[in-house]
Structure 1
């Protein structure tokens, strides 16, 4: 017989039984289950004769695929089966309605709702840079050499992790699309296979840092700064233990955000940041463990954050501990979204890595100053990432959902851009003030502080344009205009790299490096803006075939 299942339960527990269970199969829900037919009349009618329910889609006992029910077997349903349909059917409908309500609101109210979602969502991106910033502040008080070593160390521990942001992009995109279809079982399966991909990538990075970390750092720092490698390698080896937890945590976080829930990341941010801060104070200041103590504190806090994200996803009725090996077709589907996203993230990571490499080649004082500025820069940019996530969570329903509306999608993008511009100016101003008047928070070396003060103008120019850029790029990702965004980012990387090498060869130092970064950021903004306002953009064209979008099934 066919068994209707809900993901709020273990896959081995059927919802329709031949005998009434002695206790409820699931905890009470905040709203009543969405029955396919009236429960008070269903049991009586089933006692009289078998009936067919052509509208019911059931999950086969083999696992995932859906089977349209035709004529049921005699005796397939008997009295006493009081659980009908999916107990979690309500949740995908609520998620879809949230996007529709947001799109129908006025501009000011829409901006307010975006802030309510994007504010807590900041926890997804702010956690890592905040931990690195805390490490920078604590380590910089003790040793300028260890502070300089944090530069190449954080490239391997933090910057390189953005290569795997394709997992987050693929997860939120696929989850949001499945919720637009109101297919909860598909969401669970996608989460399971993406968790497997994340776990596999995490163990790969753990082994890479274990066996090749020192080699990578030696090649990165160059012959002039070989003395930084031992301290940097200590940091990298300790942080490397958390790689599997970091990546499965990203999948769980992105799934929650794809469901338009941003409170899980906020809780993770609060707890993980507190653990990291307390750990840094105890291990670095009181116990004098230096860069190693900072690494241990950050690693433990990342593990805690991942656990909280998994717990948050489980509370929504999904099983975040279920890991499935993807089939070839499923893997190719993931690659179809992840490959362009990977190229995009790789271009960003490669450019920032090259930026640090050029700064490192100029000496210990310069790279120490660059470490202070770039960590504060990353701390600022992550506040714009929730705008990108908002676009990925709410745009799919408006661009290619069951109730498609390009006009509402354009209004939503306008709101995101306004918020992005305001946020960019605020972040740039705050960061500039901190670097100008409070650099001693990060280092007590006056030579380093003098270098920091030289880059205030390009720092502001680069940071202020980042939030609106992320709003535009998030819309391109939501519309799956992946070829363009990967090609444009690759072009920005090539031109930016050439500019960086010219700056280095001409001896413009750290100031030249940061002006090159400003050009890189503005090029991203202008290219994305031009694409979205063009007649052929995903917001202006009725032809979805170019973006390989399947026609969504209505509920």
Structure 2
């Protein structure tokens, strides 16, 4: 791989900038706030006692030692006979979040979801509009697989963000924002993200060329420039991996604190810097693909630098995230990864599904029209997905305050009495009813949003094909796929929202098992389609069935038990009439 002299100079400066960001932004502040003592806090008229928690509490293990009463608040654990203890459960659960609360959180969060693809889109626009037509076409051909490969590698580590949001929200509900447990989640997540980012950066330096060669396929032999340019792009952007993964977990922690505005401000900074960088490096200095990669790298470093300051002030009391300087944490990396590992199964299942679909579409006879229509529908589906994933994120943020206290209480009661029946405990019922009410509200909101966005998206291939392709053959071929796009996008609502609720409830084994089964079934069906020489309609029909299967499993997990209980109660209410009394037979006189 060769670089221009100007590129080498810029890369050296950027490497220095990376070290500066990691060294200064993450060092302890000179103006540390005094550590706030344990205290009580109020969450929507519900008082929770804040207690120092062990690292295992993050995963629901209830083995804290008893804490003395402070500030006149009842001890969260009450001593019972035999020396055991039980967690006290407040009488009232938190109030329902209003639509205004959800809207204020979800709209900035939606901007965060589209920020990653937006950076790649900015690069694509500047590369496509700069230089001669022939040079632009060659660089766009290399940029496509490069951005897809890089975004896929980054998305693979999204399990760190999911784990951070869930664990931090639960820790806040259990112990308060300014507590050892909540801060321990942040420090451990930041440390794990740093280590994963360094490992991924080294891996991309070493393995990106053979992997990209395999990913691009036989076109590499016909056009070696394609591979060289794609490798240049990925290698430059790989320098941002340590800070990019750190940026993700800090955003996730702030979202767990119900703050979606601060991460959005950092993304606005990075987008502006990316625009300026692309204009200078690509449009003016004619550095092409390398210039676009450098501009995006600087933008991601700037976003991390812009977010780390507010995160240190908001998330940790001593302003030390534990990145460059070791900080004590009651949450171990092992316990953090114990939650994150099953989430990785979910992400791998999603990536595998779309990978097998693209492979099956590429094997359909009559290329390149089938693959072009598949790519159009897939792009429209990816456009719709963030509108539903943001509701899943909302569920992961707003629901742990309802689930975490009940879970700790029930576990402690089960330790106290092996015969404890949660269905007969009057203290638990209001919490379960409230959590189910909030969950149902989010599911309804997801269905409403899905109805709107899926209808709009499916109208494009059905009636406005000229907006996505100038080829009349493609316009005709993509029209029958509109109904499958509508079904797949609409079913994404119960899948995404119910998945977020189950993540908040920590139903990780169930989620992982469903994804393992569905991910095994979908490739089998797609291989069959490819074997019989099927069409793209059958490929997307398999995806619609894949979505339906997951929707039934997830929604059934949420509501199946309550529906069965209602049916049983209805059956028990039906009184069987007593048998009529047998009249004695009178003898004839």
User: Could you tell me the TM-score, scaled by structure 2's length?
Assistant: 0.68
Q: Looking at CA atoms only, which structure, 1 or 2, has the larger radius of gyration?
A: 2
How many Å apart are 1:256 and its aligned residue?
0.6
- Whether 2:421 is the aligned partner of 1:395: answer no
Equivalent position of 2:230 in the other structure:
232
Pairing 1:161–2:154 present = yes
Matches within 5 A, 1:155-554: 155-183=148-176, 184-223=179-218, 226=221, 227=223, 228-280=226-278, 283-284=281-282, 289-318=287-316, 319=319, 321-323=321-323, 324=326, 330-359=332-361, 370-371=374-375, 373-401=377-405, 405-433=431-459, 455-535=481-561
- Alignment match, 1:111: 99
Cα 1:25/1:209, change in 2 over 3 Å: closer
Contact in 1 for aligned 2:395/2:504 (Cα 8 Å) = yes
> Structure 1's 317 and 166: CA in aligned 2 closer, same or farther, altered over 3 A?
closer
Alignment size in residue pairs: 467
User: Deviations along 1:420-458, whole A, 9 cap, x unmatched?
Assistant: 112112222333455678778777777766665564333
Per-residue CA deviation, residues 46-95 of structure 1 (Å, 9 max, x unaligned), is: xxxxxxxxx99789xxxxx999899xxxxxxxxxxxxx99xxxxxxxxxx
Residues 208 and 429 of structure 1: CA distance in aligned 2, closer, same or farther (over 3 Å): same
Paired with 2:196 and 2:439, the residues of 1 have a C-alpha distance of 33
State the distance in 1 between where 2:484 and 2:126 align: 26
Offset, 1:244: 1.3
Contact 2:174 2:401 in 1 (8 A): no
CA–CA distance in structure 1, aligned partners of residues 183 and 216 of structure 2: 43
Structure 1 gaps, min length 5: 1-9, 14-23, 37-54, 60-64, 71-83, 86-95, 541-555
> Unmatched 5+ residue regions in structure 2?
1-26, 41-48, 54-62, 72-88, 407-426, 567-589
Following TM superposition, by how much is the alpha carbon of 1:482 offset from its aligned partner in structure 2, in angstroms? Answer: 0.6
1:185–1:429 distance in 2 versus 1, CA, 3 Å:
same
2: CA distance, partners of 1:12 / 1:285: 39
CA displacement at 1:342 relative to structure 2:
1.0
Tell me, in whole angstroms, the C-alpha distance in 2 between the residues paired with 1:522 and 1:116. Answer: 31
Contact 1:356 1:370 in 2 (8 A): yes
Counterparts of 1:437 and 1:139 in 2: how far apart (Å)? 30
Matched position secondary structure for 2:506? coil
CA contact (8 A) 1:180 1:401 kept: yes
Say if 1:192 and 1:360 are closer, same or farther in 2 by CA, change over 3 A.
farther
| 8 A Cα contact 2:127 2:289, kept in partner | yes
Hey, what's the Cα distance between the residues in 2 that align with 1:320 and 1:355?
Answer: 45
Q: Distance in 2 between matches of 1:326 and 1:135?
A: 41
Tell me which of 95, 114, 119 is aligned to 1:131: 119
Task: Indicate how the Cα distance of structure 1 residues 503 and 153 shifts in structure 2: closer, same or farther if over 3 A, else same.
Answer: farther
For the residues of structure 1 that align with 2:265 and 2:368, how far apart are their CA atoms?
38
1:80 is matched with none
1:293-318: CA deviations, max 9, x gaps? 44334333333333333233223152
8 A contact 1:239–1:299 mirrored in 2 = yes
Tell me, in whole angstroms, the C-alpha distance in 2 between the residues paired with 1:288 and 1:518.
44
Instruction: Kindly state the Cα deviation for residue 381 of structure 1 after the two structures are TM-superposed.
Output: 0.8
- CA contact under 8 A between 1:496 and 1:516: conserved in structure 2? yes
Counterpart secondary structure, 2:561 = coil
Distance in 1 between the 2:470 and 2:126 partners?
Answer: 11
Q: Residues 222 and 509 (structure 1 numbering): CA distance in 2 closer, same or farther, change over 3 Å?
A: farther
Partner Cα distance (2:116, 2:39) in 1:
43
Q: Using the alignment, how far apart are the partners of 1:283 and 1:198 within structure 2?
A: 30
Q: Any idea what SS the aligned residue of 2:387 has?
A: coil
After TM superposition, give the deviation of residue 524 of structure 1 in Å: 1.9
Equivalents in 1 of 2:381, 2:274: separation in Å?
20
**Residue in 2 aligned with 1:79?**
none
Query: Could you say what the CA RMSD is over the residues aligned between the two structures, in angstroms?
Result: 4.2
In the superposition, relative to structure 1, how do residues 165 and 102 fare at CA in structure 2: closer, same or farther (>3 Å)? Answer: farther
Range with bigger deviation, 189-198 or 176-185 = 176-185
1:44 corresponds to which residue? none
Per-residue deviation, residues 217-244 of structure 1 (Å, max 9, x unmatched): 2222333565453343333223322211
Q: Spell out, residue by residue over 1:20-44, the C-alpha distance to the aligned partner (whole angstroms, 9 max, x if none).
A: xxxx9749x9xxx9979xxxxxxxx
User: TM-score normalised to the size of structure 1?
Assistant: 0.72
